Every structure is written in C-alpha cells, then in structure tokens.
Structure 1
Amino acid sequence: MDATTQLTYALDTFYFLVTGALVMWMAAGFAMLEAGLVRAKNTAEILTKNITLFGVASIMYMIVGYGIMYPAEGNGVLPKVAFDFMFGGDHSAAKVAAEGINHARMSDFFFQVVFVATAMSIVSGAVAERMKLWSFLLFAVVLTAFIYPVQGYWKWGGGWLQSLGFNDFAGSGVVHLCGASAALAGVLLLGARKGKYGKDGSINAIPGANLPLATLGTFVLWLGWFGFNGGSQLALTGLDNTNAVAAIFVNTNMAAAGGTLLGLITARLLFGKADLTMVLNGALAGLVAITAEPLTPSPIMATLIGGVGGVLVVFAIVTFDKLRIDDPVGAISVHGVVGMWGLMAVPMTNDGASLAAQAIGLGAILGWVFFTSLAVWFLLKLTLGIRVSEEEEYEGVDIGECGLEAYPEFVGSRGAA
C-alpha cells in the first residue's frame, strides 16, 4: 500500500469503529427506554436482559453468525457457512488489497455485531414483564447465530435479495423488521400481561415507572442512530463519501424531528392530550422510517418520511391494543409497522428502487423471521416454558428472576406497580 492508500484505509477503519461504538451506545438507549416504560417491579430483570443479550449476540455472531451473513460462497439463498472468523484469520495488507476492501476486517465485524444486538434488543421490550429470563436468552442465541444472519446474507451478504434489487441502506428491514417479527411471534405465544385487557373488552393502561428515564433512552437512541445510518455508508474518505455522510446525518435528524412532532400532533388529536410515550415512539418511528434510505431524500422529504412514521406508530399501537396484542413499549409498532413503511418509501426518492422488489424483500424478511421465531418460541414453550407464574408476575419478575429490586426504597410491597 502507498501512503495515500494507507491513510484512506486508516481513516475509513477509524470511522467504522467510531460509528460502531455509537451504535453500541444504542444498547444503553434501549435499556433506559424499556426500563422507563415497565413497572418498577420489573426493572432489574429487563436491564439484565438488555446487557446480557449484548454479550450473547457478540459471542454467537463471532462463532457462527458473521460467517453465515458474509460467507466466502453461497447460492443466494443459503450461504456456505465458515467458522474461521473466531480464530482470527489473515488481515494482512496483501489480503486486504486482494479483497479490495477499504477498512480493516475486524472493524467490519464490530460494526455488524452491534447491529445484530440491536435487532435482539427490539424483542426485549415487547415481551417485557412476563417472560422467563432464561428462555429469552436461549432465543437470543438462535436469533443472533442463525435467524438474523440468514436474512442479513440475503441482502447485505450478496444473496438473492441483493440480486433482486431490494434496497435497505441501513436496516429498516434487515434489523428493525427482523426484530419486530421475532417479537410478534413471541408475544402471540406469550399472551398479554395480567390485567391489561378486561373480559368486557376494556383496555387498561399499565403506566411505566420512570418516564424521565424513557426520555433519556430515546435521546440516547437518537444520538446512536447517527452511527447506525452514517456508518452504513461504509466509508468517509473521498468527496462523494464525505458529502454522503453529511447528508445522512442531516436526514436522520430531520426524520426523527418529523416523527416527534407528528407523533405529538396525532396523539393530541386522538386522545386530547400530549401523550409523552407517543412522542417518544414518534421520534423512534421517524428514525426507523428513514433507515431504509437516508441518503437520497432531500431534508424536507426526510422530515415527511419520518413524520408519516410518527403518525403510523400511534395508530399501530392503538390497533395492536384493540387486537389484544400486548407490547409494553410499542416495539412491534415502531420497528415492525414503521419498518415496513420505511422499506416501501424508498422508491419515492431512490430512482433505482422498485416497489415490487421492496415488497418482495419485506415479505421475505417478515415471513422468514416470523415463522422461524415462532417455531423456536413454541419449542421453548413446550420445554422450559416461556412465561413466569402468576405469582411471579404479580410480585414482579425482579424478585422471581433476579432476586432483587431496582428501586427497593420506593416499592412499598413486591406487588406494587
């Protein structure tokens, strides 16, 4: 490598690592958001899930997931799985030059592993307050080692969706719809929390314990999303890449802003109040919506795409409640419903995308992840069980699963909300 090539390689590798670190920080955002939106008696357990799933995702993706998603060979549908990454591999200058990549292979793994952890974090919130911890973690093993990498290979690993012309720049489908589909399968088998839905058809609100914490989590996620979308440009050096990264950052921010305001307005029109939880979900919906294509929209189009996501998420949350599908944090609505909108919005600004290819990609990801996840959840239900006992749910899963309380000085009794 000459000096210019080495400098380019170093800068792009550094950019990859920094944006990957920003995405890793999203794990903290999910943990804070979910901890704020569940009841105090379930806080320690959901925090345990969030930090542990990151460890599970990192290890399983190292052992097998990365080799499935980015194989040396494949037929477009099934990759030829390689297990050599965990042992290091050849990362010499000659190897890098032969492969024609502009960054260190290890930086690529780091950037990709924080994405798979993000997908699993989506599941955590949807099944909160009534799922067994160890069943959740066993599912995390399967999702991060196999389910996620296969559909990731179809698009980002050069598989059949990539050949078809399916566009998903940073993962409205590959990451967010994937996580939401797995969550939906789990929620359907798990059932609703006790007291959420009355026999008379009533829907009972179960407020979260700490809205300041949930708001902080949303801001952390908003910040991390600049790495999520910006890093997906895969390079910083060169005028075209530099300009693209700047546009992606702006569009990501504008979409979040649009989702925030439209979520607020929609909630005010529907409920007569400025519902903070809907505002938070509106911001996240705007971010999910722009993730499929954050480069080609103008700033005003990005704002509108995010704004539509903010409207959709409010109606989706209400609709799922009417269907008696209990999702404590609105994850299926934010990442699933709006993830689908993000995918289908791509052709509005990207002339190279087609509605047909987007619809096929959407259906493939949804179908693959939902049905494989349903099978895994069902197997877990038959063996270990996936739901805690009624007594444990009443006392709080903090006590039953973790043996401690997150807020012991504030909770008057174990059954308190």
Structure 2
Amino acid sequence: MDRATLSKLLSPDGWALLGALPPYDEKTAMALATRLRDAGVDPDLAAAALTQTRLRAKARTKLGDFADGMLFTPDGVEQATRLVVAATHARRYLGAGVTKVADLTCGVGADALAFAGVGLQVLAADVDEVTAALATVNLRHFPEAEVRHADGLSLDLVAEGVDGVYADPARRTRGGRRIFDPRAYAPPLDAVWALRDEVPAVGIKVGPGIPHQGLPADAEAQWVSVDGDVVEAGLWFGPLAPAGPGRSALVVRTSGDGTPGGSRTATRVLRAAPDDAELVPDVGPVGAYLYEPDGAVIRAGLVAHAAAELGGRLVDRTIAYVTTDAPADAPSSGPAIATGYRVLDVLPFNLKRLKAYLRERGVGRLTIKKRGTAVTPEQLRAQLSPKGDAAATLVLTRVNGAQHVLVVDPLG
C-alpha cells in the first residue's frame, strides 16, 4: 500500500466504504468489485477497501474481533503476533514493574495493542512510513500509545523515560524468503540485545527455528506453541526473565466460541535452567502408552524434561517420542505438555505385512504420523490403498534404531 492509497482509505468516503463492505468472501469478491465499479466508486479505493476486508479476514485468526477495526499490509498480517501470545508478552512487562515500553519495530501494532491494553505506556516506532501510519490508525483508541515514523534504534530511550524495550525484527527478505541468520534480521539481533546495557528489560521476538548455539547466556529463550502450532520464540532479559536464564517452552491452549468473553486460554510452562544437570532419559521398549511432546517442548530441547515429568522413557535416543507403561498423570493445572496415545500394536516396518494387518481389520481411514523416517504419509497411504469402514492411527518411527510402525489410539 502506498501513501496515496492510504489517504483514500482514511478519507471520510473511504472509511465509510470500508465499514459498509460485507465480510470477505472469495466467491463473491469479483462480483462485489464489479458492483462498486458500476456504482462509480474510485477503482483504486474499491481495490484497497476489498484488499482490507481480505486481510482483516485473515488477521482474525490472530487478532480476533480487533482485526475488524484495523488496517493491514500482507506482510503486517504475516508478522503480527497472535493476540493471545501478545497478552503473555504484556504480562511479562507488567510483572517486571515496567511502566513504559518502547516497541522498536511495531509493524501494524499487534504487540503495542496488547501493551496499551493492559495500561502500559507505549512508544511505538517503525522505519516504514506507511506501516507507522497504519499502526497509528490501529492504536487510535489507546491514548497510552504514541506511534512514530522512525528507526527504533535511534530513539533516546533514557530521555523518553522508557524502562522496557520490545522488538520484533523482520525475518524475511523483500521477496518473502525467510532469513535464518540473526545477523541479517532487520534490525540485526546483536544491535537489539545490546540495548540491555541501557535498559535491562529487553524482549525480542525471533523465529522458532533460531539455533540454540550462540544465544546470549543471560537470556531466557522461550519457544511458544498455540493449539499445537509452534508460532514463535522469544528472548527475555533482565527483569523480564524472573526465573533466570535458560530455555523454556510455553504451551498455550485456547477454547470457546471465539466471541468476546466466550474464549478461554490455558497456559503451561516447562523450563530448564542453564545450571540444570544434563538430563539423560532412559531408552527402552515401547510400553502401553506413547506420548508426543508439544512442538514448543521439542524446539526448546526439553524432551528429556518432558520424559521425566511423564515418568517415561524414549523409544529411541534420537526420537522425540516418550513411552510409559501406565498413563501419565494429568497436569494439576494448565494444558498437557504432550499428546497421549494408547499403544495397540508394535510392528517392524514391512509394507506387505502392514497392508495385510490393515486389510484383516477392515481399516480404510488412516491417520499417519511420522518422526525419524524418510517415508512420507502420502507415499505410504498410496502404497497401502486402505479399504474398509474402520479407522486407525499409525506412527512411523524408529525404535532402538530400527524402523517400526506403532498402531495407536488417541487418549481422550
């Protein structure tokens, strides 16, 4: 979006048009565009308004009802933090006693929205002029928030009274390619975490694929999953890491109907400190139950900690599956850190034998999971050609170094 298009959208006519459009429906978008053109609506304005309805629909999965009153760019939707996660960020700053947060790379303002929503003063900056303008629109209901078109690293944090810093560096090229080298982020990761010498309370959102090697020794590195999807990692310094440095996993589960007041969130943290003794889990035969640790737990390198909590052992030294002889105790609070299955059968991997096994049981509907094998579920499904009314869940993995198929039944 350029400045001229944004000006048209923000005009009284543009804002009224945007408010009058129905929710985005791909099937009717072309016909609606034609009706707008026939009604004499400026073509650029009509296109921009329709684009916003499409982006708002996409953003609802992250921002819920807030998305309906916001403006977006495609990149802004992609990089925006989910509101449920942004709320956990805001609570960190509140818990640390921070009063004013500088959001150095605010984008369209999702995190700044959460900060302001809990009463924090916010100084939000973005180096892109149009993006800063969008953030200004999106934060218009929060007098606690000020947005500036500026390089966040150029802010005089002390003079601005900032006692907390947050940054979400860009991790894609202009062509959309992912950037994995933290030194190539915009701004570079080193430049952001150097700010902790000036303001100790620094938080940085990073990609969940960031390697463990080279992370600052004084940071809490936390990987976050929402409803089973690993969505981000964060580096937290100083008072924002009250439990001290180390690796942790935040598991978030949402439930409800998605309406205001109708949604609920449960969270659970699994943590390892740097001075923890290296946990070496047992490895042994497949028991009566199989547990797949949450993706955030795996990314954080806490599979051994999960095995200890579940009271189990690994099926293979290199595979993130935990097995137990009895069902693991349910957590006293918060969501489970692993998905559980009852083990029905354990078979050495043999295509002919597996095909016969499924045929004898009339299995025609398959759920196929894999870890530690080159076989793809699509390839195996085609080779098995399952037929029948029964359903089964197969887990393809290594057991003590050898390829096996586990036939399992999900728990609860």
More helix by share: 1
Same fold flag (TM > 0.5): no
Q: Given the two structures, how large is their TM-score scaled by the length of structure 2?
A: 0.25
More strand by share: 2
Higher relative contact order (CA 8 A, sep 6+): 1
